[in-house]
Structure formats: C-alpha cells, structure tokens
Amino acid sequence: QSALTQPASVYGSPGQSITLSCTGTSNDVGGYNYVSWYQQHPGKAPKLMIYHVSNRPSGVSDRFSGSKSGNTASLTISGLQAEDEADYYCSSFFRSYKGSSTVYVFGTGTKVTVL
C-alpha cells in the first residue's frame, strides 16, 4: 500500500474557500467511506477534523466539510482564517485485493498557507 496523494501546498486569502484533495485507489479511498482528515499545527499533535468522509467531531467548526468522488476525497475550508494555516493529512482504511493486507494509511500532507 502507498501513501495517499495530496498536493504539497494550497494557498488562500482570509475569507476565501479552499479545497484540498486526497487521491487513492479502489482499495482505500474509493472502496470505503472511511476517509478522515487531520489538522496539524507546527509542534502539535494531529487533530481529527473529519471522519467517515463527511462527519465532524464535536467541537470542530462547520467551516470544515468533507466529500468524496470515486478515488478522490476532498476537504473544503470555508471562510478561511489565519488559524487554519497548518498541515492537513487525509487518511483511509486500506485493504488489498483479496484482503491479504489491511492497514491504515495517511496521505502525503498539504500545507495550507493563509496569505
């Protein structure tokens, strides 16, 4: 299994909406509704922002929303704020063909910069 593919950088201005992508395969993103998104500020532990494609944990702003189409999942941040500047990682359940291997995989990560 390989890491899910994310763009290295995404930029946006305050108040704008940005969308981060996460591309996998039919063995992970495309095959299961188990995509999650984490936010990680420098020197901090990851924070769960979205689980099961589009669900927000309690306490997470509704400016964050998730979706999926085929083998690509997306995280949209609306009304971009300075505090949203961080690294974002997607993740998914992965099961190989015939189920010989099951693992939890992360994406390569996207650095969001608020201009």
Give Cβ neighbours of residue 34 (< 8 Å, ≥ 6 apart): 52, 53, 92, 93
C-alpha–C-alpha distance, residues 3 and 103, integer Å: 11
State the nearest-atom distance from the C-beta of 27 to other proteins, in Å: 13
**Binding pattern for the stretch 19-58 against other proteins, x by CB under 8 A and - elsewhere:** ---------------x-x-x------xxxx--x-----x-
3 in contact with other proteins (CB under 8 A): yes
By CB under 8 A, the count of residues binding other proteins is: 23
Q: Using the minimum distance from each CB to other proteins, give the nearer residue, 38 or 65.
A: 38
Strand partners, 5: 23
Can you say whether residue 17 is alpha, beta or left, with left for phi > 0 and alpha for psi between -120 and 50 degrees?
beta
Per CB under 8 A, residues contacting other proteins are 1, 3, 34, 36, 38, 45-48, 51, 57, 89, 91, 93, 101-109
